[in-house]
Structure 1
Amino acid sequence: MVEIGKINQLHIVKDHTAGIYLDGEDLGEILLPNRYVPENCAPGDLIEVFIYLDSEDRLVASTDFPKVMVEEFGFLQVRQVNHIGAFMDWGLPKDLLVPFKEQHTDMKEGQYYLVFTYLDPQSNRIVATSKTNKLLGNIKPELNKGDKVEALICEDREIGYTVIVDNKYRGMIYKNEIFDTLEPGDRIDAFVKNVREDDKVDLQTTPLGYKKVDESTDKVLTTIQQFGGKIKVTDKSDPETIKEVFGMSKKTFKKAIGALYKQRLIVLEDQYISIVKEKK
């Protein structure tokens, strides 16, 4: 079944001066404009495309994919606001509409907002809402400790970042579990640390098997993070500098960075220590 607002694999039906037509099954033939047509393709070939309605409400295909699909959360920037609503940049020629009635607060041009995209059942148009609170916390997380999940970074709070887990659940990554620079809108892999009684999910950014030796390793990682992920202090630095920066003895510091290095959480250089960045 072909789904509007999702990625579909469709067969090429025929060539056309405007592009190629794809078999949209019950939706009929769908045009893939020339600028998206892959080289050396022919009728019968199967290609992967995103389906949506163009500015004239005609079904159209694209091999460029948007920043967020239907039934997904994402952080998007407002391009313009007019009498209809806010139009957001989601990576396609036709901007994504957030009608005024679906805005949690009045949206402003140039600002970023958390939105949820959905298919309007009456028009088949893809639209979005920033009234996201009503869409989360309605189902019990089916997750176990140690599970790998996707986390969408949301709000930066004093204790950590609120996140959306696997596009379904509310969660939190605490500051002492963050060893890389994060920004609202980032999507990262994370690991379930705990499912709380209120059904919110506590996460950490390293697998549960990567245990910290003691509180000193936590402190070292947090301090390096505060310096942007790289610090000009090593085990060769004088004890006074280490104590001033990390608040611990040189002996404790060397033990901590040794443990972190074995866990591949840090890189040791001649004059610097830096945090290993996650692969995205």
Structure 2
Amino acid sequence: MSDTKADRVKPDMSPTAAVVIGRSNRLEVVRRGRAGFYADGGEDGQILILPQHTAADCAVGQWLDLFVFLDADGHLAATPKMPLAQVGEVGWFRVASLSPVGAFLDWGLPKDLLLPFSEQQAPVEQGRQLLAMVFRDERGRLAASTRLDDFIADEASGLKSGDEVTLVMAERTDLGRKAIVNHRFWGLLYHDELTTPVRRGQRMRGYIRRVREDGRLDLSLAPVGMARLEGAAGEVLALLKRSGGVLPLGDKSAPEAIRASTGLSKNAFKQAIGILYRQRLVELAANETRLRQ
């Protein structure tokens, strides 16, 4: 990843910074003028809250979460309406239109987001959905890029097994499905971790299952470690109660049968019933788990 693009997707969020363009900012409404309400942008001066977006109950002295961007004239403007993704985030966008300078993406705001030709990994088609990173170009304007490898790193830092993270689902692979972790790193969900259907572009909570020696991330959709096992034990206990106290599953059952009935891998199921057994809640047989009377 080039230093230039790394800088573009890391907005300045230091305590001394003024507003962050392309991100949500907590700002105070300080006056009402002929053009509408204005928010205090600190060293950036007062920022017009676009009249067509102003809430009906907007008032001087009120604090609002406002998305700040540059208008067509290069001036700061703000709206309480949030886009599908902000600067430094990957979003799932529909191609709204094509133009001589690139494509425009519907990102939830009235003005579509430009995807320049130079930032397209492959040609795009109107009406199709795609994953793209939102960034600020060298002139401070907001734009999108489908060249995700320029922004997303293979080698992760600052994460450990068990950490809860934000995932954006990417393409399938022979091993499972790639996902973008915290909008910064690539990770992999193996097939046996995909206990529920997911789709490309879906944003969801996940967990770091393992940080490999090469810094790459193995992921999980369920909590990792004892918290996960306790959660799985609770799920099995609830399933037992719903099934009249008996499950035709045990530590000798086929993995496919266990997953079909419980949604758990065989290893997670065995550890879950082990927890229930040690708590003297169940009796175990090779192919049966039964609630104690």
State TM-score, norm by structure 2.
0.71
The residue aligned with 1:131 is 147
C-alpha distance 52-178 of structure 1, shift in aligned 2 (>3 A): same
The residue aligned with 1:29 is 46
- 2:252–2:286: 8 Å Cα contact kept in structure 1? no
Q: Counterparts of 2:88 and 2:82 in 1: how far apart (Å)?
A: 15
Q: Counterparts of 1:51 and 1:253 in 2: how far apart (Å)?
A: 60
C-alpha distance 175-81 of structure 1, shift in aligned 2 (>3 A): same
Q: Secondary structure at the match of 1:176?
A: helix
Instruction: From 66, 85, 88, give the equivalent of 1:49.
Output: 66
Q: Is 2:219 the partner of 1:219? A: no
C-alpha distance 127-252 of structure 1, shift in aligned 2 (>3 A): farther
- 2:154–2:216: 8 Å Cα contact kept in structure 1? no
| Amino acid of the structure 2 residue aligned with 1:121 | E
Q: Secondary structure at the match of 2:130?
A: strand
Q: CA deviation at 1:25?
A: 2.1
State TM-score, norm by structure 1.
0.74
Q: Counterparts of 1:190 and 1:22 in 2: how far apart (Å)?
A: 36
Unpaired runs of at least 5, structure 2: 1-17, 233-249, 264-284
Q: Which moved more, 1:207-216 or 1:134-143?
A: 207-216
Q: Is 2:25 the partner of 1:8? A: yes
Q: CA deviation at 1:196?
A: 1.5
Unpaired runs of at least 5, structure 1: 230-250, 259-280
Q: Counterparts of 2:92 and 2:185 in 1: how far apart (Å)?
A: 16
Q: Counterparts of 2:40 and 2:89 in 1: how far apart (Å)?
A: 26
1:86-105 aligned within 5 A = 86-105=103-122
Q: Secondary structure at the match of 1:93?
A: coil
- 1:77–1:113: 8 Å Cα contact kept in structure 2? yes
C-alpha distance 120-74 of structure 1, shift in aligned 2 (>3 A): same
Q: For residues 42-65 of structure 1, give each alpha carbon's deviation from its aligned partner in whole angstroms, at most 9, with x where no partner exists.
A: 222221100112344432211110
Q: Counterparts of 1:153 and 1:160 in 2: how far apart (Å)?
A: 11
| Amino acid of the structure 1 residue aligned with 2:24 | I
Q: Which moved more, 1:70-79 or 1:36-45?
A: 36-45
- 1:162–1:172: 8 Å Cα contact kept in structure 2? yes
- Count of residue pairs the alignment pairs up: 232
Q: Counterparts of 2:255 and 2:217 in 1: how far apart (Å)?
A: 21
Q: Is 2:137 the partner of 1:120? A: yes
Q: For residues 37-89 of structure 1, give each alpha carbon's deviation from its aligned partner in whole angstroms, at most 9, with x where no partner exists.
A: 23433222221100112344432211110010001112211111110101011
> RMSD across aligned C-alpha pairs, in angstroms?
2.6
Q: Which moved more, 1:9-18 or 1:43-52?
A: 9-18
Q: Is 2:99 the partner of 1:82? A: yes
| Amino acid of the structure 1 residue aligned with 2:256 | K
Q: How high is the sequence identity, in percent, across the aligned residues? A: 31
1:1-280 aligned within 5 A = 1-122=18-139, 124-137=140-153, 139-208=155-224, 209=226, 210-211=228-229, 216=253, 218-220=255-257, 222-223=259-260, 255=289
Q: CA deviation at 1:3?
A: 0.8
Q: CA deviation at 1:116?
A: 1.1
